[in-house]
Structure 1
Amino acid sequence: MGEGIERREADGVIELRLDRPDKKNALTGAMYRTLTEGLAEASSRADIAAVLIAGNGDAFCAGNDIANFLSGPDRGTEAFGFIKAIALFDKPIVAAVQGLAVGVGTTMLFHCDLVYAAPDARFVMPFVNLGIVPEAGSSLLAPATLGYAKAAAMLLLGEPMGADAADKAGLVTAIVPADQLLAHARAKAAALGTKPPQALAATRRLIKGDPAALVARIEEEGRLFRETMLSAEAKEAFTAFLEKRAPVFQRKPENA
């Protein structure tokens, strides 16, 4: 379909597979654009009932490709376009998650309707560690889904959550053996296509609720994200990441 994204279509489902396994499916601007285009196509076609998002290799998604994100001319424009597209998408989304799901690899899952995870799935939202703020509405959706305490551990400390904990917390629909994960997710996505479409769509809208608060939060996060990206903290965090060293953050004196 596009560089870094493998597209498959069957049983009324468009499958978008992140296909950059050597980089643990870290997302580039081009990949974000392709994912957004795939969602738009699925939304416009009456014969498509659902979208399935999965990843090739041993990881689901390692988040943004940091070097690409920092050097890209639009500095995240494609990423925010995808975030808005998945947040407002009008059909069910199924996800199959194995291995690492970092940053947007986790936050996109809050917008998925059914999330199936392999036992080795590991969910991480390390935004604060990078000197930035959460995105994709996760500052609103994580506490609502996981409870405040678990969300705070993930968003303030950057602590990872394993598959079992994610299942208990409500982020994951079910844990599936790794060798059955994709087939299981495909079967569930295809099953959505057998449901009466109008009733399915109406029920989904009721479950999701009014999107106004979510859209407002995504906009607020986006504004703060862009501001913090320009901060000294973010510069140090990203530089340390690329140099594979621990970051050193400067604290101002209390009376400064």
Structure 2
Amino acid sequence: MSDKVQVSRADGVLRLVLDRPDKKNALDREMYRAMIGALEAARSDMDVRVVVFTSAAADFTAGNDLADFRDFLENPQDFPALAFVRALASFEKPMVAAVTGDAVGVGTTMLFHCDLVYASPDARLRMPFIDLGLVPEAAASLLVPRRVGMARASQFLLLGEAFTGEEAFRLGVVNSLAPPEAVDATAMEAARRLARKPAEALLAARRLMRGDPAEILARIEEEAALFARALSSPQARERLAAFFSRPK
């Protein structure tokens, strides 16, 4: 596990708290591995009924730590970020997210794999993959148009426009809104309600609602191949170099 991801269990809920405030909870290899390990353990743990993703800081997550992109090409299939989105797509138990502040990149795309999402009205969601010369990940190219329609998906994925928690609620990405200080408690209450449901019926209903995950997993692999190719392109290298040369 990692000090940057606080893990706790109570009342049937596995709680994963992103805790790297100095980096706006940007996800590095250590954090991905901690969350992957927690999800793997939760699969067979009958006491875990629901998983909650939340944060200890003002921001949900600034997305993938861009420093890790430098290592991606060495072995993309073992890259923890890819393993994490695979784990999300194949996880069979309900997942809940509590979002405040910034949710960038995977911080937004992972929400489309969650069953319930709660956010503050002023939360800022953004998927700036193309701005970095990259392509969407976590099956966002499939799930975002399916959820919000092609017109809005083009705004968010092609133009890279940000959208607020309030707009995400109107679009059906977020279940309900709460003040920033109440988002976590709102998500936890929903998770506890889920955990009290008959487990077998809950899992069966979720499985029926979601259908075969093969399509989503296949899109993740297709995106990953294009992501690796894009990351080695001159455009992506130039934009990442510009990012790292910015004054801190």
TM range (shorter): over 0.9
CA distance in 1 between counterparts of 2:64 and 2:216 reads 22
Alpha-carbon distance in structure 2 between the residues aligned to 1:21 and 1:217: 32
Partner of 1:143: 145
- Aligned match of 1:3: 3
| Match among 216, 224, 243 for residue 241 of structure 1 | 243
Residue 176 of structure 1: how far off its partner (Å): 1.0
Which amino acid in 2 is paired with 1:38? A
1:228 maps to amino acid = A
| SS of residue in 1 equivalent to 2:117 | strand
Residue of structure 2 equivalent to 1:156? 158
Match of 2:170, SS state, is helix
- Taking structure 2 as the reference length, what is the TM-score of the superposition? 0.95
Q: Relative contact order (C-alpha < 8 Å, sep 6+): which is higher?
A: 2
State the shift of 1:3 in Å: 3.2
Contact 1:121/1:162 (<8 A) preserved: yes
Aligned to 2:21: 21
The alignment's TM-score, normalised by the length of structure 1, stands at 0.93
Rounded to whole Å, the distance in 1 between the matches of 2:245 and 2:160 is: 20
Partner of 2:40: 40
133-142 or 163-172, which moves further after superposition? Answer: 163-172
| CA distance in 1 between partners of 2:56 and 2:70 (Å) | 24
Report SS of the residue matched to 2:15.
Answer: strand
Partner of 2:55 in structure 1? Answer: 55
Q: After TM superposition, give the deviation of residue 68 of structure 1 in Å.
A: 2.9
Q: Which has the larger radius of gyration?
A: 1
Q: Does residue 215 of structure 1 match 2:214?
A: no
| Superimposed CA distance per residue, residues 54-97 of structure 1 (whole angstroms, 9 cap, x where no aligned partner) | 01211001011111332466457111000100111000000000
TM-superposed CA distance for 1:146, in Å, is 1.0
Deviations 1:10-35 (A, max 9, x none): 11111001110110000001110110
Q: How many equivalent residue pairs?
A: 245
Aligned to 1:195: 197
Deviation at 1:9, TM superposition (A): 1.2
Percentage identity across paired residues of the two chains: 48
Alignment of structure 1 residues 84-233 onto 2, 5 Å? 84-233=86-235
Unaligned stretches of 5+ in structure 1?
Answer: 246-256
